[in-house]
């Protein structure tokens, strides 16, 4: 029996019907050529169920001691493991667009895991268009964190389209094979690019916890760019009580586009991601007429995981980033974000992993206590959470089915009704946006705002021709997303029509040859509600188009 760490236990203690504490997301695949959907999916499920010995956490359930949930908690093997329960077949109602997929994922993510069993579920989802299928999975955050889940993903899949895996991806054998591959293939660690990656190198140097705490304490009074939780966090729409229902949307952007912004502004990829999100939040708040005078703050989880560590369930720390949403100029906003991230990172620079972990537990503790008291929504420690998880940087396959995207689905908590998590995969960045359904019913508009924000940054950095932004914005609307009846949707229809002059039944497919470094092929679809029949093509600039790899049937 393994004892859970304090942080792992906290995810269980804080969980309520309104705030399920599981993470996950859906992976999107294209069926191998000639494969029959039903047979292929049943084959995958059967293969998963064949494991003799399961790698953690697939076969472990929670053991509560005599003191109940407030006492020490343990993982113990589930001797009556029922894999049929954990591995499930699901299907989308017709027409099987991403809209239907997002609706299903929103629902699946809104229900609690059964604590009498190992804390995970996996859903093989059929009924998508274009010979695609999806696998939604759900792990309790007490059992797994984002980086660990990417390790699991990598150990399940293969970079070789012709490889057929004969042992269950849930098995110890799959884990061993993967760990071996990690050792043999040193550069794969390079792929785990993350803000934390740089920190890791410093973790084992001698620590200065006292100094860090002093600096932290100083931030409450001084003029330091270091942002600390609860300090000047404004009230906004996204910082209210939440309920249990969720709304989920997802979209991909080319990695090269976002990195180019970071480079041009002398910052990191992660700085550019934060700036992109900050701009989107600013547009969202302006559109709702409620931009707070104080800037929004974001919790930015950083990985404290050492290279090759597949064992720890949660090796996550947190930096508070100032999103500078009160700054109109995108360049100044970028700089403010970058400065706050650097100040946050400096805090950890001199600490060992253990010290950092202890430090984070200390500074997060007031938050852990506020949530059960129901005060999280009145005193939110952050405005939102933006989490950047490094994924495999090459195309992956699962028994020949190409992995098209890794769309993460994370946690919404009391007072923080929005979570933006992204995974870098292959040449793209896959965003998964999770929101409280009641607080943010229009969360699908965020997809547009993220693109608008990226274009604004590109223009400010001088890496796109003037005027391209405006065109881009209009084009942006033409894509699959959760909200059909939004203005954006009808714009897409109009745009497609004006370009292509199709008949009364319209299906607009805008094709593009991507000229970016990422060499991605981009396709965006707009579908009218009335089951479109006719086709029309329109050219557009690739750079200005967010893409869901998903929607590319290439």
* 18 neighbors 242 (Cβ within 8 angstroms): yes
Q: Which stretch binds a copy of itself (CB under 8 A): 36-44, 51-59, 150-158, 418-426?
A: 36-44
DSSP SS3 for 255: helix
Choosing from 6, 71, 76, 116, the residue that interacts with a copy of itself (CB under 8 A) is: 116
d(CA 210, CA 207): 9
When asked if residue 80 is in the footprint of a copy of itself (CB under 8 A), the reply is: yes
Does the annotation mark 141 as catalytic?
A: yes
Alpha-helix runs per DSSP H in 21-143: 37-48, 83-86, 98-109
* 69 neighbors 437 (Cβ within 8 angstroms): no
Q: Compute the least distance from the CB of residue 204 to a copy of itself, in Å.
A: 42
Exposure class string for 129-138: b at 16+ Cβ within 10 A, else e: beebbbbbbb
Decide whether 92 or 142 has the Cβ nearer to a copy of itself.
92
* 383 neighbors 238 (Cβ within 8 angstroms): yes
When asked if residue 243 is in the footprint of a copy of itself (CB under 8 A), the reply is: yes
When asked if residue 92 is in the footprint of a copy of itself (CB under 8 A), the reply is: yes
When asked if residue 245 is in the footprint of a copy of itself (CB under 8 A), the reply is: yes
Q: Compute the least distance from the CB of residue 529 to a copy of itself, in Å.
A: 9
Choosing from 3, 49, 94, 517, the residue that interacts with a copy of itself (CB under 8 A) is: 94
* Active-site entry in 141, 151, 166, 167: 141
User: CB within 8 A of 373, min separation 6: which ones?
Assistant: none
When asked if residue 91 is in the footprint of a copy of itself (CB under 8 A), the reply is: yes
Q: Which stretch binds a copy of itself (CB under 8 A): 176-184, 323-331, 354-362, 435-443?
A: 435-443
Choosing from 90, 326, 361, 516, the residue that interacts with a copy of itself (CB under 8 A) is: 90
Comparing CA positions, the residue from 240, 262, 427, 233 lying closest to residue 325 is 233
Intra-chain end-to-end CA distance of the chain, in Å: 48
Decide whether 437 or 475 has the Cβ nearer to a copy of itself.
437
Instruction: Give the CA count within 13 Å in the CB-facing half-sphere of 486.
Output: 21
Q: Compute the least distance from the CB of residue 198 to a copy of itself, in Å.
A: 42
DSSP H or E stretch at residue 390: strand 384-390
* 233 neighbors 435 (Cβ within 8 angstroms): no
- By CB under 8 A, the count of residues binding a copy of itself is 37
Q: Compute the least distance from the CB of residue 483 to a copy of itself, in Å.
A: 11
Q: Compute the least distance from the CB of residue 167 to a copy of itself, in Å.
A: 23
Burial of 20 (C-beta count, 10 Å sphere; 0-12/13-18/19+):
buried
Of 410-429, binders to a copy of itself (CB under 8 A) are none
DSSP state letters, 391-418: --SS--EETTEEEEEEEEE---BTTB-E
DSSP collapsed to 3 states, 258-282? HHHHHHHCCCCHHHHHHHHHHHHHH
Site string (437-466) toward a copy of itself, x via CB under 8 A? xx--x-------------------------
When asked if residue 131 is in the footprint of a copy of itself (CB under 8 A), the reply is: no
User: Strand pairing of 401-409 and 397-398?
Assistant: antiparallel
* 145 neighbors 23 (Cβ within 8 angstroms): yes
Choosing from 65, 71, 72, 95, the residue that interacts with a copy of itself (CB under 8 A) is: 95
Decide whether 67 or 210 has the Cβ nearer to a copy of itself.
67
Decide whether 104 or 450 has the Cβ nearer to a copy of itself.
104
d(CA 102, CA 114): 23
When asked if residue 127 is in the footprint of a copy of itself (CB under 8 A), the reply is: yes
Decide whether 88 or 491 has the Cβ nearer to a copy of itself.
88
Site string (473-512) toward a copy of itself, x via CB under 8 A? ----------------------------------------
Choosing from 126, 189, 294, 309, the residue that interacts with a copy of itself (CB under 8 A) is: 126
Q: Compute the least distance from the CB of residue 10 to a copy of itself, in Å.
A: 19
When asked if residue 130 is in the footprint of a copy of itself (CB under 8 A), the reply is: no
Comparing CA positions, the residue from 390, 429, 420 lying closest to residue 548 is 429
Q: Compute the least distance from the CB of residue 246 to a copy of itself, in Å.
A: 10
Per DSSP, 45 falls in state H
Q: For the chain, what's the residue count?
A: 554
Q: Find where tokens 């859903």 sit.
A: 123
Q: Compute the least distance from the CB of residue 91 to a copy of itself, in Å.
A: 4
Q: How far is CA 322 from CA 90, 132, 202, 228, in A?
A: 41, 39, 24, 9
Decide whether 308 or 374 has the Cβ nearer to a copy of itself.
374
d(CA 413, CA 418): 8
When asked if residue 114 is in the footprint of a copy of itself (CB under 8 A), the reply is: yes
Q: Which stretch binds a copy of itself (CB under 8 A): 96-104, 250-258, 271-279, 546-554?
A: 96-104
Choosing from 244, 292, 395, 502, the residue that interacts with a copy of itself (CB under 8 A) is: 244
Q: Supply angle C-alpha 264, 268, 273, rounded to 5.
A: 95
Enumerate the active-site residues. Answer: 141
Kindly list the residues in this chain that would bind a copy of itself in the complex (CB under 8 A). 17-18, 37-38, 41, 80, 82, 85, 88-95, 100, 103-104, 107, 110-112, 114-117, 124, 126-127, 243-245, 437-438, 441, 531
């Amino acid at each position: 029996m393994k004892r859970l760490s304090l942080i792992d236990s906290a995810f269980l203690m804080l969980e309520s019907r309104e705030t399920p504490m599981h993470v996950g997301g859906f992976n999107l695949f294209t069926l191998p050529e000639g494969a029959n959907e039903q047979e292929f999916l049943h084959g995958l499920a059967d293969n998963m169920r064949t494991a003799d010995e399961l790698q953690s956490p697939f076969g472990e359930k929670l053991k509560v001691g005599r003191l109940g949930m407030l006492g020490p908690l343990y993982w113990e093997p589930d001797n009556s493991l029922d894999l049929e329960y954990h591995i499930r077949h699901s299907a989308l109602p017709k027409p099987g667009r991403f809209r239907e997929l997002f609706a299903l994922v929103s629902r699946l993510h809104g229900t609690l895991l059964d604590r009498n069993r190992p804390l995970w579920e996996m859903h093989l989802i059929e009924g998508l268009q274009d010979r695609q299928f999806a696998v939604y999975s759900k792990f309790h955050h007490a059992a797994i964190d984002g980086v660990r889940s990417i390790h699991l993903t990598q150990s399940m899949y293969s970079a070789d389209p012709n490889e057929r895996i004969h042992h269950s991806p849930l098995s110890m054998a799959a884990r061993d094979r993967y760990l071996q591959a990690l050792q043999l293939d040193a550069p794969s660690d390079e792929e785990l690019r993350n803000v934390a990656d740089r920190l890791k190198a410093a973790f084992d140097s001698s620590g200065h916890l006292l100094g860090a705490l002093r600096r932290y304490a100083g931030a409450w009074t001084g003029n330091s760019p270091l942002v600390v939780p609860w300090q000047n966090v404004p009230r906004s729409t996204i910082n209210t009580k939440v309920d249990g229902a969720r709304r989920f949307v997802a979209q991909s952007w080319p990695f090269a586009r976002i990195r180019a912004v970071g480079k041009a502004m002398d910052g990191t990829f992660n700085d550019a991601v934060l700036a992109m999100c900050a701009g989107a939040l600013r547009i969202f708040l302006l559109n709702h007429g409620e931009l707070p005078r104080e800037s929004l703050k974001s919790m930015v989880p950083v990985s404290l995981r050492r290279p090759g560590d597949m064992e720890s369930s949660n090796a996550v720390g947190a930096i508070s980033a100032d999103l500078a949403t009160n700054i109109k100029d995108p360049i100044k906003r970028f700089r403010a974000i970058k400065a706050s991230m650097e100040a946050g990172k400096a805090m950890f620079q001199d600490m060992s992993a253990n010290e950092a972990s202890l430090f984070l537990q200390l500074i997060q503790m007031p938050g852990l206590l506020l949530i059960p008291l129901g005060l999280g929504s009145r005193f939110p420690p952050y405005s939102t959470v933006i989490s950047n998880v490094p994924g495999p940087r090459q195309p992956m396959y699962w028994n020949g089915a190409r992995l098209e995207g890794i769309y993460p689905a994370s946690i919404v908590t009391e007072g923080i009704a929005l979570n933006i998590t992204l995974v870098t995969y292959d040449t793209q960045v896959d965003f998964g946006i999770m929101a409280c359904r009641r607080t943010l019913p229009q969360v699908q508009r965020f997809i547009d705002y993220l693109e608008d924000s990226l274009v604004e940054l590109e223009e400010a950095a001088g890496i796109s021709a003037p005027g391209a932004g405006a065109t881009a914005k209009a084009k942006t609307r033409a894509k699959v997303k959760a909200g059909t009846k939004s203005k954006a949707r009808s714009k897409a229809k109009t745009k497609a029509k004006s370009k292509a002059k199709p008949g009364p039944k319209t299906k607009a497919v805008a094709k593009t040859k991507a000229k970016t470094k990422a060499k991605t092929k981009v396709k965006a679809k707009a579908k009218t509600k009335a089951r479109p029949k006719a086709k029309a093509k329109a050219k557009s600039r690739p750079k200005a188009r967010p893409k869901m790899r998903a929607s590319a049937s290439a």
